[in-house]
Amino acid sequence: MTDQHAATTLADARRRAAAAAVALRGPAVPTPPRRAVGRVLAEPVLSRTPIPHAATSAMDGWAVAGPGPWRLRPAEAAPSPAQPPTSPADGEAVAVVTGSPIPAGVDSVLRAEHGTVRAEYGGDSLHADPTTGDLAAGRHIRPAGAEAAAGETLLAAGSVVTPAAAAVAAVAGHDLLPVRPAPQVTLICTGEEVITAGLPGPGQVRDAFEVSVPAAVEAMGGRTAAVRRIGDAVEPLVEALAAAAHGEERPGEATDAERAAPQLILTTGGTAGSAADALHPALEQLGAELLVDGIAMRPGHPTVLARLGDSLVVGMPGNPLAGFAALLGLGGVVLDGLAGHERPEDRRLGAGRAAEELPGARRGTRLLPVILDRAGVVPAGRDGSAMLRGLAAADALAEVPAGGVAAGSPARLHLLPWTADRGEAAWDA
């Protein structure tokens, strides 16, 4: 272990995290569209068929051939998209519903409200409203391939499968999509003084991470496979890190793809260099490669990034806001990189305009909880390293240089994944 990476800039730390995560990406896993929602496509998705694959009616009514009035052919069955009608002869009409295949020889579809059926000698006849525009050639007929041709790219590689994208893929004939599995996360919480229930006594603090980090991981596209709580000693941390890196923490119900998915190990506390901090000696004992040892940011300066086998470890400082600064500033980049996003170091970034001065730290970059309102970006307050109220009220973390950001000036924002839809200010990536 060395200190060659000490106090790197936040931007450089994010680039290192992105490169390390991209290098560990696993292969794509064929996944049904319904289960692929939220995952990243490893390959483009092409239409296996024209969409629609046959000409269809866009209206309920009648498919007409030739000039009217038309002989209304007796229905062979109740109109249904599942029952293609036979082709009408010239001067005939056949009842159709929305989605019915349109046979050859049809000129247009006369919608139901623009036609009148009259009982006349020899059978029923169909008369069109003289003001209708439905008799123009091809009217209300959705041609085959109107939405997509066979072989056309529908979804780009690197895009996220949304519910709508899953629907498009299914309509295009795909039963499986090539997506990367969700990154698996093991959370290791340290601290003899940390309690998980009740009111803390002297020398105790309530847990802030075990109750929140799994949900934050989920919001960032990961899956928390295990949560472990240990004390402050080095050996238990060595054992916990080794077990996580070897996949021993994966739950029994995990799929083969989830067991093989790349992993992020998050630790809380013990990231500094004092004799009481266990992370550095534990990583050294395991032969981990130290990638980032301290970031020039406040809070969260003693953030650690290391590679341990085929896993990445992000050491989050123990102070709550500092820990979340590490999770959002670096952990999110790792998750995005493992999940298959391109340029993960640039995701979840936005821009806003300061409505009032955003104060900086004495040195390095400050990640300041801010609220986005109609006036612009304003500090959320209660933003000490050990505080959480400011983060709970915030929409983003503003990246503030040492000199601060003056009122009216642009500010770079790290968008919070669980509140990205709350802000009312104009901001864009």
Least trusted range by pLDDT, from 56-65, 78-87, 110-119: 78-87
Residue 84 has pLDDT above 90, yes or no: no
Contacts (Cβ under 8 Å, ≥6 apart) of 391: 320, 321, 324, 369, 380, 383, 416
Per-residue confidence band for 251, with pLDDT thresholds at 50, 70 and 90: low
Give the pLDDT score at 250.
63
Residue 253 has pLDDT above 90, yes or no: no
C-alpha–C-alpha distance, residues 118 and 98, integer Å: 23
For residue 411, give the amino acid letter: A
In the chain, % of residues over pLDDT 90: 84
Give the pLDDT score at 76.
60
Give the pLDDT score at 258.
66
Q: Where are the alpha helices (DSSP H) in 97-233?
A: 163-171, 213-219
Please answer whether residues 64 and 106 qualify as being in contact, where contact means their C-beta atoms are separated by less than 8 angstroms. yes
Write the pLDDT tens digit of every residue in 149-202: 999 999 999 999 999 999 999 999 999 999 999 999 999 999 999 999 999 999
Write the pLDDT tens digit of every residue in 212-250: 999 999 999 999 999 999 999 999 999 999 999 987 766
Residue 355 has pLDDT above 80, yes or no: yes
Give the pLDDT score at 254.
62
Least trusted range by pLDDT, from 42-51, 54-63, 118-127, 196-205: 118-127
Residue 426 has pLDDT above 50, yes or no: no
Q: Which residue has the higher pLDDT, 2 or 346?
A: 346
C-alpha–C-alpha distance, residues 62 and 65, integer Å: 10
Give the pLDDT score at 261.
73
Mean of pLDDT values over 411-416 = 96
Mean of pLDDT values over 323-343 = 97
What's the predicted TM-score (pTM) here?
A: 0.86
Largest CA distance in the chain: 104
- What is the per-residue burial (b if ≥16 Cβ within 10 Å, else e) of 272-305? beeeebbbbbbbeebebebbbbbbbbbbbbbbbb
Q: Which two tokens stand for residue 69?
A: 């009035």
Give the pLDDT score at 423.
39
Residue 288 has pLDDT above 60, yes or no: yes
Per-residue confidence band for 428, with pLDDT thresholds at 50, 70 and 90: very low
Reduced to 3 states, what is the DSSP secondary structure of residue 322? helix
46 forms beta bridges with: 153
Give the pLDDT score at 296.
96
Residue 3 has pLDDT above 60, yes or no: no
Residue 289 has pLDDT above 80, yes or no: yes
Q: Where are the alpha helices (DSSP H) in 206-275?
A: 213-219, 234-245, 256-260
Complete domains list, the chain, with CATH: 6-26+181-346 (3.40.980.10), 56-142 (2.170.190.11), 349-415 (2.40.340)
Residue 257 has pLDDT above 90, yes or no: no
Give the pLDDT score at 264.
97
Mean pLDDT over all residues of the chain? 91
C-alpha closest to that of 393 among 415, 377, 370:
370
Residue 66 has pLDDT above 70, yes or no: yes
